[in-house]
Amino acid sequence: MTDLIGRRLVLAEDDEDIRETTALLLTRHGFTVTAVQDGVEALTAIEQEHPDAVILDIAMPRLDGLALVRRLGDSAPPVIFLTARDLPSDVVHGLSLGADDYIAKPFDADVLVARIEAVIRRANRGAAPEEPIDGVTLDRHGKAVYRDGNAVAVSATEYRVLEALLDNRGNVLSRSQIVDLAWDSSWQDDRVVDTNVQRLRKKLGPDVIETVRGFGYRIPRVPL
């Protein structure tokens, strides 16, 4: 079970079927969802409800998702674009405006939930730059990893895999979910996850990342 049950979301989607289906699946995962059909209604809901995260389509009537993010500015809660626009230039533009994540339709429900949980956790960490993992410290500001206070050299991909698992600590992530979270792309061979996990274990210790046979990997909530 997620430790984010009851977290408030605003979902803005002008397609009624997609809106209702997405709201239902998020509700089933324990979120409290306010579903609206355009950017103007989303703006009102955000101002009134102060949600933990906002899920926005881009192409919406009256006020589109991009314009809404611009209007919210630095006061915006964590924002995830959920849109059919999947060109690299679209992704770059959306993130450059200040969105915390960008997911193209059609989407995997488990990946969507995992990414919502990740952006909420990052927001809740505030200014704290370090997070301990049973003797391992992840410095998110400096993109650095330490073991018992000593710096450990990790590659960019190893860091992203470790961060993805930490953002979902206690939850089992499949290899394909880790690929989606760490690379934001489905072209990667799932075996690249195994390679990076093996390297992280050699550098950080065998008990930092647990294998759940038949399912994937996780960082346990309680140290092994």
DSSP 82-101: EES---HHHHHHHHHTT-SE
Domains of the chain: residue spans and CATH? 8-125 (3.40.50.2300), 130-218 (1.10.10.10)
Residue 53: pLDDT band (50, 70, 90) is: very high
How many residues make up the chain in this entry? 224
> DSSP letters along 118-137, please?
HHHHHHHHTT--EEEETTEE
Q: Please give the pLDDT value at position 137.
A: 83
Per residue in 158-193, pLDDT (tens digit) is 888 998 898 888 889 999 888 888 875 555 567 889
CA-CA distance, 220 to 121, in Å (whole number)?
Answer: 16
pTM above 0.75, yes or no: no
Per residue in 74-95, pLDDT (tens digit) is 767 889 999 998 888 888 888 8
Q: Are 188 and 175 in contact (CB under 8 A)?
A: no
Q: Please give the pLDDT value at position 88.
A: 86
Least confident interval from 62-66, 68-72, 166-170: 166-170
Q: Is the peptide bond before 106 cis (omega within 30 degrees of 0)?
A: yes
Per residue in 118-170, pLDDT (tens digit) is 888 877 655 344 556 777 888 776 678 888 878 888 888 888 899 889 888 88
- pLDDT averaged over every residue in the chain: 84
